[in-house]
Copies of this chain bind each other. A is one copy, B any other.
């Protein structure tokens, strides 16, 4: 499987642009890509001419262009999973009082593609389009446990409770697979506890995961069994709606 170098470089530039809050200049791109300024210049202008990058007229720096917004809308609108899942997220939040999310596997991360926010003032903020690590989030663990090609390369530490030992994670994921849901007990963000369950598609494969996140004080150990039962019930109902025969 041959990779086209100049296309790959262009895509890497997009990745860099995604992380550059204040935009970047030609020189920085050249440096990061280990190419000459001239090459970077030509790549950037190619991206710009297609609307994937935008150049500030004054500073000459480049930022991500609006073209990706259109593409994103296409992606999200075509996701039947999202349309079917949304009412379930609403019910999930309604019945639990906590913020609910829908995530899919993307590039070895959990990509949040929908959410319904908790009505309470104290809540977990998050955004559609963000990607979270698999090893320390409930949604991520579910995707890791039930998807075929899911893998983790590294296990960075986020909180004292983050699992960083590959063997421990393996056992943990085995357990997730057995019990049919996953939890995240302040392993990603201090004070935030989550649970998640898999969503199965018509072919019996896991197509995504839904879950809730809330402050540890509210998502208490006593409430967890009830919350988990609600969650799994809704996840299974959604799976059946999607044509899963499970």
Contact = CB atoms under 8 A, between A and B. Distances in A.
A34 interface: no
Given A10-B10, A74-B64, A129 B4 contact: no
Given A11-B50, A47-B11, A69 B129 contact: yes
A4 B70 contact: no
Contacts of A65: 75, 106
B42 A3 contact: yes
Contact of A64 (B11, B17, B71): B71
Given A6-B6, A49-B3, A52-B11, A129 B43 contact: no
Contacts of A74: 18, 64, 129
A104 B66 CA distance: 9
Interface string A7-21: 111111011011001
A73 B130 contact: yes
A73 B128 CA distance: 7
A59 interface: no
A15 B69 CA distance: 12
> How many subunits of this chain does the assembly comprise?
2
A68 B78 contact: no
B46 A8 contact: yes
Interface in A1-42: 1-12, 14-15, 17-18, 21, 42
Contact of A68 (B42, B51, B71): B71
A165 interface: no
Interface in A125-145: 127-131
Contact of A111 (B12, B69, B203): B69
A107 interface: yes
Nearest to A73: B129
Interface string A94-133: 0000000000101100010100000001000001111100
Contacts of A157: none
Contacts of A78: 21, 63-64
Interface of A: 1-12, 14-15, 17-18, 21, 42-43, 45-47, 49-52, 63-78, 104, 106-107, 111, 113, 121, 127-131, 148, 202-203, 243, 245
